[in-house]
Amino acid sequence: MQTLFLEKTGITLRTERACLLIYQQGKHIGSLPLKELERVVASPQVVLAAGVLGVFCEHNIALLVVNHSNPKRTAYLSAPMHSDVHRRMRQYALYQDQTFRTHQARRLVFLKLSRQYRLLAKQQDSRPDLRHVLFKAMETLRHLLEDIKTDGETLTLERLRGVEGAAGGAYFAAYSRLFPPALGFEHRHRRPPTDPVNACLSLSYTLLHHEAADALRAVGLDPALGCYHDLYYQRDSLACDLLEPIRPWIDAWVFGLFHSHRLRPEDFKHENGGCLLQAAGKQRFYETYRRQAPAFRRLLRQYARMAEHTVMNDESQ
């Protein structure tokens, strides 16, 4: 059973006998036996008749319509309960296993800190003026990574969050120094973002959080049930988990936006204590994001498939 991803414009879906037919700009480009499909993940531009939905229902195929430009319009049409319910039942059972949760959370945090370390290390040669600042943060990260390695089996989720918080403080103290003082970026500030860099970080994290939730739905997992992040009202905690090790790569991308002068201070405005992108800057941000998003999306899908494999095989060790 497989998932079919359809994102190109001009795609039309039809069914004939026991096959799903795929057309682009009116030309037939492929077909798949319906019995081999578990779900279809499509962009809002994909065209299909209501009758196709009935055929999907008949063959227990789920449909996820992913709207990247307007995440609130993302829609999930579930097929009648089939294998997904057993998958989620295993996920719910594993959530009750504190050892399993801690083991998975430790992997996420270790990967995140490792990538934070590499991002700072990459800047050492090009920023000799910041060698001491970068080295100090990297040493903190290195010691915390060693703590996770040596104390891993005894680390509770609460202690692990403390380690991740200490790493974040050291990391952002150095990361913020990579940007020109004119941007006013001194530390991570979320609600509301108070400067251009924080505004771009928050927007990027939000966009990719939705991507992570969609990737998890596409493999039949409940995005709300995380390992590292606890249950919280109206929060997709497993999507938050999935995003953690990718955050340093998002940070690197945001750094590139300003380092290349794609975005400048004049592209932002301050309003009601927060910092917002203005129209011209927003257009350039989204143009660049659309080019970068497929790479992040592929990675999140890979992580989602790994999470599904872990759930189904109970790989807690």
Count of beta carbons in the 10 Å neighbourhood of residue 1 = 11
**Cβ neighbours of residue 90 closer than 8 Å, sequence gap 6 or more:** 311, 312, 314
Say whether 158 counts as a known binding-site residue: no
Q: What is the DSSP letter of 184?
A: -
Instruction: Say whether 35 sits in a helix, a strand or coil.
Output: helix
Tell me the torsion sign for CA atoms 288, 75, 199, 204.
negative
8 Å CB contact between 28 and 73: no
Q: What is the largest CA-CA distance in the chain?
A: 68
Q: For residue 141, give the H/E element and its range.
A: helix 131-150
Instruction: Say whether 114 sits in a helix, a strand or coil.
Output: helix
Say whether 139 counts as a known binding-site residue: no
Say whether 164 counts as a known binding-site residue: yes
Q: How far apart are CA 44 and CA 275, in angstroms?
A: 31
**Cβ neighbours of residue 270 closer than 8 Å, sequence gap 6 or more:** 276
Tell me the torsion sign for CA atoms 259, 265, 271, 273.
positive
Let me know how long the chain is.
317
Please state the residue numbers annotated as binding site. 164, 229, 244
Please state the residue numbers annotated as binding site for Mn(2+). 164, 229, 244
